[in-house]
Amino acid sequence: MSTKPTTTDLEWTDLDRRAVDTVRVLAMDAVQKVGNGHPGTAMSLAPAAYVLFQKLLRHDPADAQWTGRDRFVLSAGHSSLTLYIQLYLAGYGLELDDLESFRTWGSKTPGHPEYGHTVGVETTTGPLGQGVANAVGMAMASRYERGLYDPDAAPGTSPFDHTIWAVAGDGCLQEGVSGEASSLAGHQKLGNLVLLWDDNHISIEGDTETAVSEDTLKRYEAYGWHVQRVEQQENGDLDPVGLYNALKAAQAETERPSFIAARSIIAWPAPHAQNTGAAHGAALGEDEVAATKKVLGFDPEKTFDVSDEVLAHTREALDRGREVRGEWEKSFAAWRTANPERAATFDRIRAGELPEGWESHLPAFETGKSVATRAASGKVLEALGGVIPELWGGSADLAGSNNTTFDKTSSFLPADNPLPGADPYGRTVHYGIREHAMGSTMNGISLHGNTRIYGGTFLVFSDYMRAPVRLAALMQVPVTYVWTHDSIGLGEDGPTHQPVEHLAVLRAIPGLNIVRPADANETAIAWREILKRHAKRSPHGLALTRQGVPTYEANEDAAKGGYVLFDAEGQDGQKTAPQVVLIATGSEVQLAVEAREQLQAAGVPARVVSMPSVEWFDEQDQGYRDSVLPPSVKARVAVEAGIGLTWHRFVGEAGRIVSLEHFGASADGKVLFREFGFTAEAVASAARESLEASAR
């Protein structure tokens, strides 16, 4: 571990100091006006945020989506004012009115930063630790992007070289996801990542001695990070010179990610509120705000007081941004000239387009053959791997089970990793047994842009990923989850590994599309549709079988989420109106097909509807949905090997649901299906019950 360097090239003037103190005043006033919020961290972090945005960050406030920009992630999202005030001062479009409307209806400054809502916010943070993992994902994406477009350039010379800066608090580092992600970052030697820890020793319950006693810096050293500590000034404030030097040293360290501990005093320099738990999450009070303004040399009678001189000084970030972007544009133009094919690939990917003719590479599967949908998914990835270079991913140590490896000769690993195929620009990501970090880094990868990411694990372990999956849906980022072993059909591993409630729970997340294909051909169509939907910006979860299932003839309507797989027939074998509709997903579609045969033989015309995605089906117009599920047919059965929560609205009052309302057991999957009532006979029986109920 090193401490701050003793030399610096930082220009630090009285105007810079006044700007930092202005940040503190604005943070106090914004929270005081709305009556709630988190002022203390924004006050103590003011020098660090200012140094980053005004002295170090490569950015252009006039274009927050500039490809060559650095990324800034505020993992400690409760301190959203730390970010908002810097965006205001630098000229991203926020103004004083926006700070004055902090945490109120319709404002650009919600309680926690929201991606897509406020210009300059790179990711939605709030759940602590997620931002740390997002930043790790951005650093991974940056490296992969460089491999796509400029792999041979010397370090620091490519227009695709940039730094990922992140700020975390004590709470972020207590959450397990940050540990998972930091371990992964150290293993990957992400030298483009800098994490600043606001070491203020305070959380909601007071001093962090209540919960934490480890040596965090040694922990990060053990992860393989470059570690520094920046000491306070004698008055207790953060030292801008020390911060600048440490951040510059971290940026210069390209072989390891960098961790900087900055000991701060929360709510500094509030006379009575500093270093208290109350300052973390509550307004300081009018008297304390006034007293603090006096300490800082501001008029206590004024609120949201920003001098013209300070604002003119900080808005020079626009001029610096224009200049640094201009220099980057020159290097980018030179790269384009020297690399016309890669430039064409960049333009295509940047536009969200797929390679011409890519769909012709999708496999078609033989009708009647038994194929596990996880195996079919693997075949799709193998077929597309060489065609869509921006597509990459892996699994949480389950590649062989998830079938997520489409390039067995290429692993996304540092060049000095001893494993065969280690390549810093490799296609296959080994997340390790870190499902939570996998989900969160995938969000960061997607947010970084210019690639397409997927990640796999067992469906039951989506529990470990729920926070980042929810955030992916909230942010509308197009990540793809490959969740296999999707039911009790996985068999002998037993109830700890058998998902029961998971499909319903995941479908309950707004904006998340769950796709549970019935067979191999539906799986190929599902992958095709997911890839085509990338520009719609929503996450998708594939739920895939371990066991083999029959392969049916491909039907393009599978991309509509629900369709007629087999229609009702009369005694003459001709299509006729159904008396009952059987709705099924995944491995249970075969049960509906067999039940239909039994019903048809008994003179009951039955239609089988395969519904791989409820969400896609809901998108279709009413006419199409009614053509699949005729409103006049009240006799309906839904069958899915999980809880039946999803299906009540589809079957109606007279309908029946063949579901699993309890946990599984350890036995062969076929035995479990039989013992728990997932048979064609049970589905046919439910259909007869529904017919009777609908006739009353």
Helix (H) or strand (E) holding 322: helix 316-338
Residue 98 and residue 11: Cα distance in Å, rounded? Answer: 30
Residue 614 and residue 508: Cα distance in Å, rounded? Answer: 11
Contact 678, 641 (CB under 8 A): yes
Contact 194, 166 (CB under 8 A): yes
- Going by C-beta distance under 8 Å and a sequence separation of 6 or more, which residues neighbour residue 302? none
DSSP letter at 54 equals I
Structure tokens at 336: 């384009």
Contact 402, 460 (CB under 8 A): no
Residue 433 and residue 281: Cα distance in Å, rounded? Answer: 34
Contact 209, 160 (CB under 8 A): no
Residue 514 and residue 412: Cα distance in Å, rounded? Answer: 28
Residue 48 and residue 193: Cα distance in Å, rounded? Answer: 16
Q: Is 170 helix (H, G, I), strand (E, B) or coil?
A: helix
Helix axes 340-350 and 130-149, enclosed angle (nearest 10): 140
Q: What angle do CA 4, 310, 65 make, to 5 degrees?
A: 75
Contact 518, 564 (CB under 8 A): no
Residue 279 and residue 41: Cα distance in Å, rounded? Answer: 8
The Cα-based distances of 208 to 227, 270, 325 in angstroms read: 21, 20, 42
**Which residue out of 435, 522, 594, 640 is catalytically annotated?**
435
With tokens 């699993």, the residue in question is 660
Contact 4, 245 (CB under 8 A): yes
Residue 435: active-site member: yes
For 359-372, b where at least 16 C-beta lie within 10 A, e where not — what string?
eeebeebeeeeebb
Residue 60 and residue 37: Cα distance in Å, rounded? Answer: 29
With tokens 């539906």, the residue in question is 522
Structure tokens at 599: 């019903």
Structure tokens at 312: 């003119």
Smallest CA-to-CA distance from 144 within 190, 182, 82, 179 is with 190
Query: What is the DSSP code string of 78-110?
Result: GGHHHHHHHHHHHTSS--HHHHHTTTSTT-SS-
Give the catalytic positions in this structure: 435
